[in-house]
Structure 1
Amino acid sequence: MIVGLTGGIGSGKSTVAKMFEELGVPVYITDLAARSLIESSKKIKNSLIDLLGKEAIIDNKPNRPFIAQQVFHNKELLEKLNAIVHPEVHADFKNWYHEQKTPFVIKESAILFESGGDEHCDVIITVTAPKEIKIQRVLERDHTTKEAIEARMKNQWSDAQKTAQSDYVITNKDLENTRLQVHEILQILSKK
């Protein structure tokens, strides 16, 4: 069984993913896989240069600040970037998935719905948090601006859109309560 785990920026989905991992559930982090594939795949690097120009790759490595600056304010470019990276991540996930020996795995993705990744999941969990909490978390984590965070939020589905299509919702305001919700969902999934 494939369990999709998603949530908007700052919701705490990575924290929830770690909680599941600590409980023995294999977790595939799509963002980390995408970063690794962008670093290692000549095909992706060439496609990035074709899409964004030579500045996208410096010293054979992705120029992340430049790429982010180009795509986060341009929905069309973001969609083209995703069309380059997502098929490669999906193929990598399939290989990883077939190596696992547990009843279910978790596929963590910030843009699970936006990328169509939900279609490959049997169950979906969305992690939510109040907007102010999300912004505060990202400000502390990324040392960015509120405006930059809100621009990224606009490129993601709202919590309401995600929760409407989810099987389970974890409200992540405090760690103790979040951990309880993770345990409850794990018990339910273990019986399926």
Structure 2
Amino acid sequence: MKIVGLTGGIGSGKTTVAGFFKDLGIPVYIADDAGKRLLAESPDIREKVSKLLGAAAYNGQVPDRKYIANKVFNDKDQLAKLNAIIHPAVASDFQDWFSKQTSEYIIYEAAILFEAGGYKKCDLSILVTAPHKLKIGRLQKRDDSTVEEIEARMGHQWPDEKKAELADFLIENKDLQQTKLQVRDIHIQILKAREN
């Protein structure tokens, strides 16, 4: 069974693309969702994150995401330490999930697939792109962020041009109908490659 990595910069619409693969019957693992779930549910992670960022990282058992984001996004050292707690837990969770799948291939969706080296564990990778202005507009609509906040978050990810050099497939997500057709085409290509 092939592991197909799916990534894209913030606001590119990679989760929408993941949904289109799901509609085709392909199992999808979303690493960011798993990270959020584990941050909330794992007592081990809760203890380590509280030790790293202080007791205010949690309101009782609930992670204070805004507090955590403010602590790590302007401090590369703290971000690296937080990732060193979360990423191994997500990798282990993914292996458990993957062992239960039976399809021809699965989609592994991660925001920093290339930056974190996760693409090396994938058989193929797909990069979702969108024009810069469109990404900003989507993010402003989605989470009421300022342009400055969005640009700061984008600054933590590689530019699309750098990621495109490592990707096997590219989806430009400007028009949903076109995006759906691109997903279907890639799906057919992956299945055909499996036959050869």
Category of TM-score, reference length = shorter chain: over 0.9
Root mean square deviation of aligned Cα: 0.7
Alpha-carbon displacement from aligned partner over 1:129-163 (angstroms, at most 9, x marks no partner): 01110010000001111111111101011101111
Question: Residues 54-113 of structure 1, C-alpha deviation per residue, up to 9 Å, x if partnerless?
Answer: 111111111111001111121221111111100000000011011000010000001111
Does residue 177 in structure 1 map to residue 178 in structure 2? Answer: yes
User: Superposition pairs for residues 29-40 of structure 1, below 5 Å?
Assistant: 29-40=30-41
Q: How does 1:43-192 map to 2 (within 5 A)?
A: 43-192=44-193
- Whether 2:20 is the aligned partner of 1:24: answer no
SS state of the match for residue 157, structure 2?
A: coil
Q: Distance in 2 between matches of 1:183 and 1:135?
A: 27
Given the two structures, how large is their TM-score scaled by the length of structure 2?
A: 0.96
Question: What is the distance in 2 between the residues matched to 1:101 and 1:36?
Answer: 24
Q: Could you tell me which amino acid in structure 1 is paired with residue 114 of structure 2?
A: F
Unaligned runs of 5+ in 1: none
CA contact (8 A) 1:82 1:115 kept: no
> Can you give the 5+ residue segments of structure 2 that lack an aligned partner in the other structure?
none
Check the 8 A contact 1:4/1:124 in 2, yes or no.
Answer: yes
Separation of aligned partners in 2, 1:148 and 1:171: 24
- Provide the rounded CA distance (Å) in 2 between the counterparts of 1:29 and 1:149: 21
Q: Distance in 1 between matches of 2:114 and 2:45?
A: 22
Q: Structure 1: how far apart are the matches of 2:80 and 2:182?
A: 33
Q: Distance in 1 between matches of 2:115 and 2:44?
A: 23
Alignment partner of 2:99: what SS? helix
> Post-superposition, which runs of at least 4 consecutive aligned residues in structure 1 deviate over 2 A?
none
- Quick one: percent identity of the two aligned structures? 49
**Is the 1:128–1:172 contact (alpha carbons within 8 Å) kept by the matching residues of 2?**
yes
Q: Supply the AA of the counterpart residue of 1:31.
A: D
Distance 1:106 1:37 in 2: 20
What amino acid maps onto 2:94 in structure 1? F
Q: What is the aligned length?
A: 192
Aligned to 1:6: 7
Instruction: Give the alignment's TM-score, normalised by structure 1.
Output: 0.98
